[in-house]
Chains A and B, each alone.
Chain A
Amino acid sequence: MVLLVLSGCLYWPRLIEEELNQAPTIVASDPRAGDPVELWTDTWVFVQAYDENDPDGLEFVWTLSGLGQQGGAMPIAGQGRHRGSQLFVVANPAYDGRTLSVTINDSFDGQVSRSWELIVPEEAP
């Protein structure tokens, strides 16, 4: 009876497997989330991301508030599905109070970002 119903009365559409993109996640950074970048001297800032399905497609975009995209970011050779990027930030007094951000995009509109406040302490006159 069941076989009869399945074979004659119901239509089974073909199943199509869809790969859902998994957005990148940030696994580490220096400074860590929430801490400022204290520019006592010129400093490296870095971020590392993990992407389950698109590590080679990751793009790191660094911006400084009011000054736009920063052009000196250098990729870090990855391990497995981890990728990284680092930016050398000069202790320029004009950067005090600005926000440094990095946005990590994958090839499928997945995105994650992190921001830090820049602090440039007073130096000797």
Chain B
Amino acid sequence: MSSRHPLATVAPLALLLAACSDMSIVATNDLASPSAFDTAEVDAAEALTEVIVDVRPSGDADVLPQRFRLDDRSLWSESTLNLQSTITLSGSIRGYAATPVGATVPGEADAPVEARITAFIEGDDHLRVVNSEADGTFALDLPRGQDYHLTVVPITPEALPASYDAGLAFLADSQRDIDLGFGVPVYGRHLQDDGTPVAVSRRPIAYLVDPLTGIAGASTRVDAEGWFALRAQPGTYTLVLEGAEGTTVPRIELPDVLVSESADASSPIVVGAGQVDFAEVTGRVADADGRPVSNASVRFTSVDLDDAAGALEVATETDQNGLFSRQLLPGAWTMRVVPTYEAEGEASPVEQEVVIGAEGSDLGDITLSARVQLEGLVVDTAGAPLGGVVVAIEEAGFDHYVYTATTDVQGAFTCNVPDTALIVRFMPSNDRGVAITPFSLPRPSEGPSTYPLGAGALIAGNASASGSPLPFAVIEVKSPSGESLGTTVTDTNGRYALRIAAP
């Protein structure tokens, strides 16, 4: 569960705006991968009329990361990013323990709740998170602001509903006591086609996800008969059943599960699992010279399962002989093999489609192609070489490993890179008069020999907090869809300036 991004389904909320006195914050799908670039030269800033600016202060500053929106191009070259001060939201979480210790009537006891409290502003992926103490009290620091979401997910006791609030303003230190209450029962059964539950050792977990925030409530593990029971406040949720940590059962999502006070308690939700019968898959990972590759990550993502419902991702690692073995469900899968990161390594990651039969499969040798040299010349639009330009070469998929080089006085660079799709970002220091410019290469061999960097568009201004300059803060400029266009830092006076690729 830890890998779920709490804002994974926030995208539909984009463009809900929040206005503060001296900053404006825009809701933006910030999850787009840079690998979405699909042109040879990535004109990510082309036709942009607005940009997002994320400010991440250094640890010595007493303000928290915040997001700004420059929605007028006239603001790009000179703007003031005044970070909001930090306020403290404190309070307590209480609920009704289903099985209270010492109580004579189950469900009667009002109890403090240890819970995870998450606050974020609409469209800003800077989450503020804290756990309440065992006595239910909590204190959460967050930037002063409006349009906050506040979610509370119980940890102990866990059989309680989660709480989701929106449209909250926290403009000064505040107190908020939250009663999770009883909620409404939501229960059902996870069954295979033959009417049996999955093996006890593979019992999945069930939980409800708030579709607005993407934040999941507390989970419960289905019992040996396949039954599960959750509690939720009335509303519409996505019900998820998936393998618990260490188990492999396909993830099934049931959207639009209506939870209401008047729900018919005699109607359990039946979740059809198909038929979950695993088969053994083996293989060996080798480099281009046939040598075994140890500690490589071997990941399988289901494409179309033969008999089981839902989707599944599983992973394993190769041993010292390059061998791996894993139980998978019969069907079509995408397999990705990713060697460990080495700046001067020899193997490239690989992706291929595999079909697993009911009897299992030996995939034989999986060969990782050799790394290659990426070379080029970096020039300005007049053809003059640009030395001292940092070159950040990112894998466009897999683990987004980054390889770096710096151009020499002739503007030339060379770098040992994987033989896979790449995003090459040229990052001149901001006093060079040329833009941070990304190029997308389907393969290293398809890159141009010369990379021209234009002047682009200037993004500049001052960052401050409580009227004082904010030195050494990271400034990241993004497109409204979340693509990173460039990153720089403020100087000792809080001044920042960078150029992004733009017509």
Contacts and interface: CB of A to CB of B under 8 A. Distances in A.
Contact of B474 (A27, A56, A76, A93): A76
Interface stretch (B178-186, B256-264, B335-343): B335-343
Given A40-B130, A79-B489, A30 B5 contact: no
B85 interface: no
Interface string B472-503: 10100000000000111111000011100000
A110 interface: no
Contacts of B487: 74, 76-77, 86
A124 B115 contact: yes
Given A69-B341, A72-B400, A77-B390, A57 B219 contact: no
Interface stretch (A3-11, A14-22, A41-49): A41-49
A68 B297 CA distance: 14
B58 A29 contact: yes
B429 interface: yes
B219 A124 contact: yes
Nearest to B486: A77
B469 to A, nearest CB: 13
Contact of A71 (B127, B402, B489): B402
A68 B399 CA distance: 15
B411 interface: no
A31 B427 contact: no
Interface string B83-99: 00000000000000000
A29 B497 CA distance: 19
Interface residues of B, number: 57
B262 to A, nearest CB: 28
B158 A124 contact: yes
B297 to A, nearest CB: 12
B59 interface: yes
Given A28-B60, A75-B427, A92 B2 contact: yes
B154 interface: yes
Contacts of A29: 58-59
Nearest to B429: A78
Contacts of B486: 77
Interface string B401-434: 1101010000000000000000000011111000
A68 B216 contact: no
B471 interface: yes
Given A48-B472, A123-B116, A30 B431 contact: no
B131 interface: yes
Contact of B343 (A35, A69, A76, A82): A69
A17 to B, nearest CB: 22
A44 B216 CA distance: 23
A56 B388 contact: yes
A125 B218 contact: yes
Given A30-B56, A79-B488, A84-B489, A125 B219 contact: yes
A46 B2 CA distance: 23
B330 interface: no
Nearest to B61: A30
A92 B264 CA distance: 39
B402 A72 contact: yes
Contacts of B372: none
Nearest to B57: A30
A72 B399 contact: yes
Nearest to B219: A125
Interface in A61-94: 68-80, 82-84, 86, 90-93
A105 B1 CA distance: 37
22 contacts: A27-B472, A28-B58, A28-B471, A30-B474, A32-B59, A40-B127, A40-B130, A44-B474, A46-B474, A56-B388, A68-B340, A69-B343, A72-B399, A74-B392, A75-B402, A77-B427, A78-B429, A78-B489, A79-B430, A84-B474, A124-B115, A124-B116
Shortest 3 CB-CB contacts between residues of A and residues of B? A71-B341, A32-B59, A28-B472
